Structure 1
Amino acid sequence: MSIGCLCIHGYTGSPEEVQPLVDFLSKRTNWELVNPTLPGHGEKLDLAGHYFQEWIATAELALLGLLDRHETVYIVGFSMGGMIAAYLAAKHQVERIVLLSAAGKYISLPQMCKDVGGMCVDACNGALASNELFLRYQKKLKQTYFISSFEFMKCVKFTRPYLRLVECPVLIIQGELDGMVPKKAADYLDDEIPSSDKEVVFLKQSKHLICHGDDKDELFNRVLEFLN
C-alpha cells in the first residue's frame, strides 16, 4: 500500500516550521512527504498581493497530486495550516489528519504577556540578542505585510465551519506555553470536530513552534504512532 503525507505550514511561516517532523517521518517510513511553500511565504516573506484562497488552493493542489498517486493519504497541518488541513479533510477522502497548534482560536494574551515579559527582562540584562523567541519573531514582524493579517483571519473564518464535517481520525496536539494559539483552541477543535476517533495531546514545554520545541521527540513519536 502506497502512502502520501501532505504537511502544511502556518501563516508567515515556511516549510521549515514542520521540516523537523518531515525529516523524522522520512527516516522511518517510505511515504511520499510533500511540504509546499504557500504563496508569499517562505524564508523571505512577500505577502503583499496574496490572498487566503491562494494558500488553500496551493495546499489542495498538492493534496490532489498525492491522492492521484497513492492509495492512502494523511495531512499534517500546523497553525493556519491546521485549519486548511481540516478544510481539505472535509472535502476529500483522506485517511487521517494531525492538527498541530491549529489556529481555530488565536492569540493567548496571558502567555504572550509572559513571553514579552521575558524579552523585557533579557533586554534589561543585555541578553535580548540570545532570546530565541525574540530572534524568531523579529524577522517576521519586519517582513509581515499588515493587510495580509486580515487574509489570515479570513482564512480561519472560512475554514472553521468545515471542522464540523471532518469524520476521519484526528490527532490534535497543542503546546501549553503557546502564546499565539491558546490552549483552549485544542478544546474548541475537539468540540467542533464530530469524528468518533479523536485524540487531544497537550505538550507541557512547547510554545507555538511546536516542531522545534522541547517536547518535539514526544510529538514526533505520537504523530508516527497515530498515523501508523
Structure 2
Amino acid sequence: MKGCLCIHGFTGDPWEVEPIAESLRQQKDWLVYAPTLPGHGPDEDLREVTYQHWVYMVEVAVEELIKRCEEVYVIGFSMGGLLACYIAAKYEIKKLVLLSAAAYYLNPPMLFESVKAAWHTQLTGESEPDQLVDLYRHKMTHTPMSAVLQFMTAVKKIRPYIRHVHTPTLIIQGERDALVPRKSSEYLFRTIGAEEKFIHYLKDGRHMICHGFEQDQLTQLIQDFLLGQINRKDEQDEVSCT
C-alpha cells in the first residue's frame, strides 16, 4: 500500500489540498491523510497553539503512515510545504511535493494587483470573483498576531532542514501567487539536497493553486511525478530557475 500525507497551509484547512487528496484516493491501494492542523479549521482558535503543535501533528501522521504503508509520499501547501520539508529531512519519505511552499512569504506586486482589482470591482461591479480578495480580508481581520509570529517562527526554524532533504522533489508554484514570491520556489530548488528535483510554474496559478483554473494540469503533474511517469529530460526543459 502507498501512503500520502497532504498538509494544508497557515490559517487554512484540508479543503486547500482536497482536490489532490481526492485524486490520489481514487488510485488503487492508496491511503491518504489530510489532517487539520491544531488551531485550524471551521472552529479555529490559533491563539493557544504554537508551531510545535503543527510539527507534532504531522510527525504523528507520517509515523502512522510509515507503519501501515510500504511507501510514503508527502505533499505540502504553503506553510504545509515547510512542514513537509521538515518531515522529508527527518523521515524516510519516497517523494515530496511542494505547492506554493512558503520558504518566503508575501509577494507585494501581486498583492497590489489583487487589491487594485478589488477596488475596481467595488467601483464598477465588473470583475470576476477573486478568492484572494476574501482570503486577504479574512487573514487581516481574523488572524491573531501571536499566530502570525508562530508562523514566522516555523519558517525560521524549519529553513535549516531544507538542505537535508534528499527525497526526490517536485516544486510547483503559480506565477500569479500574491502571498508567496517566486524567490521562495527558487530558494527551495537551489537548497534542497536531492539529486532528483523538478520545478514547474503554472502561468495563471495563484496562491490557492489546488483550486485554480489549472487544477487539472496540477493534478496530472503530481500524479505523473508520484507514479514515476515524469521524464526527467522533458521536465528539466521546463525549469526556469536561477
Instruction: Tell whether the structures are fold-level matches, with TM greater than 0.5.
Output: yes
Show the counterpart of 1:69.
68
Show the counterpart of 1:156.
155
1:45 touches 1:144 (CA, 8 Å); kept in 2? no
Q: Does 1:79 align with 2:87?
A: no
1:145: Cα distance to partner? 1.3
Cα separation, 2, equivalents of 1:113 and 1:129: 17
Cα separation, 1, equivalents of 2:214 and 2:42: 24
1:206 touches 1:215 (CA, 8 Å); kept in 2? yes
Superposition pairs of residues 1-40 of structure 1, within 5 angstroms? 2-40=1-39
1:126: Cα distance to partner? 3.8
1:115: Cα distance to partner? 0.8
Cα separation, 2, equivalents of 1:106 and 1:176: 14
1:7 alignment partner, SS class: strand
Cα separation, 1, equivalents of 2:140 and 2:29: 38
Show the counterpart of 1:189.
188
Superposition pairs of residues 30-109 of structure 1, within 5 angstroms? 30-109=29-108
Cα separation, 2, equivalents of 1:201 and 1:172: 6
Show the counterpart of 2:238.
none
Letter paired with 1:65: E
1:44: Cα distance to partner? 3.4
Cα separation, 2, equivalents of 1:129 and 1:187: 30
Cα separation, 1, equivalents of 2:170 and 2:151: 23
Superposition pairs of residues 126-165 of structure 1, within 5 angstroms? 126=125, 130-165=129-164
Show the counterpart of 1:211.
210
CA RMSD of aligned residues (A): 1.5
Cα separation, 2, equivalents of 1:30 and 1:137: 38
Cα separation, 2, equivalents of 1:131 and 1:184: 24
Superposed CA deviations along residues 173-208 of structure 1, whole A, max 9, x for unmatched, are 010000000112111001110100000000001100
- Aligned residue pair count: 227
Cα separation, 2, equivalents of 1:125 and 1:226: 44
In the superposition, the TM-score normalised over structure 1's length comes to: 0.95
1:122 touches 1:131 (CA, 8 Å); kept in 2? no
Where structure 2 has 5 or more consecutive residues not aligned to the other structure, the ranges are 228-242
